[in-house]
Copies of this chain bind each other. A is one copy, B any other.
Amino acid sequence: MKLYSFGPGANSLKPLLALYEKELDFESVFLNPAKFEHHSDWYKKLNPNGQVPALEHDGKIITESTVICEYLEDVFPDQNPLRPADHFERAQMRIWTKWVDEYFCWCVSTIGWHRMVGNMVKHLSDEEFEEMVAKVPIHEQKVKWRRAREGFPQELLDEEMRKIGHSVKKLEARLQESKWLACDHMYTLADICNFAIANGMQNGFPEFVNEKDTPAILDWLGRINERPAAKKMFANQPSEFNRKKD
């Protein structure tokens, strides 16, 4: 089993942490986003969308971070399960993983691109940049690269910040009433997929995530970071931003 990823952050973190939680053996292949390795020809042969993460298993490629997580549960259901056995609770888990993919990850991602990704491509000439964009297979991603370089419209950034504020309130309210997101008694893929986006927001978005406004979120982030699987993952897997320049 082989996981192609950017390391333990954002969507790549979801299957990475699931693999560590399930104590499964796998080979980790890092792609360097600053070198656009996910848009290289060899990788697009594996995933024509040019996106990470992707899992290679039994000679096949599974894409989409949340789908990979469910796949690991389907294939290894009894190995440290991360899905509730109860059907109603499992549905709640899916509502939370779906919400990450449809709402929460997008607003946080735009601000991340605004703050960091734009700088990654500012040193390129217009020609070099357009050559790179030509390799991006998804139209919406091409548009996002161009906007990140030019600067996102302020109106869009304001709207994304509003959505982040709304998301944080929603998470805090849920974690005030339940130890974990899908159900009180079990840590599930709902926690892993939300943690993938929320971890670090206490530093990146202290106006939203802080001791005063979101004690339950901070407690929940702390509990996940203290899990042996999370510690092992962060110790063993370089993140896309702190690994040695290669």
- The residues of A with any CB-CB pair to B shorter than 8 Å are 58, 60, 62-64, 66-68, 70-71, 74-75, 87-88, 90-91, 94-95, 98, 101-102, 139, 166
Contacts and interface: CB of A to CB of B under 8 A. Distances in A.
B67 A95 contact: yes
Nearest to A94: B67
B166 A58 contact: no
A87 B74 contact: yes
Nearest to A67: B94
A63 B95 contact: yes
Contacts of A66: 94, 98
A139 B163 CA distance: 10
A98 B95 contact: no
B58 A88 contact: yes
Contact of A67 (B63, B71, B91): B91
8 contacts: A58-B88, A66-B98, A67-B91, A70-B91, A71-B87, A71-B90, A101-B102, A139-B166
What 10 A-B pairs are tightest by C-beta distance, nearest first? Answer: A74-B87, A71-B91, A67-B94, A62-B91, A75-B87, A60-B88, A67-B91, A64-B95, A67-B95, A102-B102
- Most chain B CB within 10 A, of A74, A75, A102, is at A74
Nearest to A71: B91
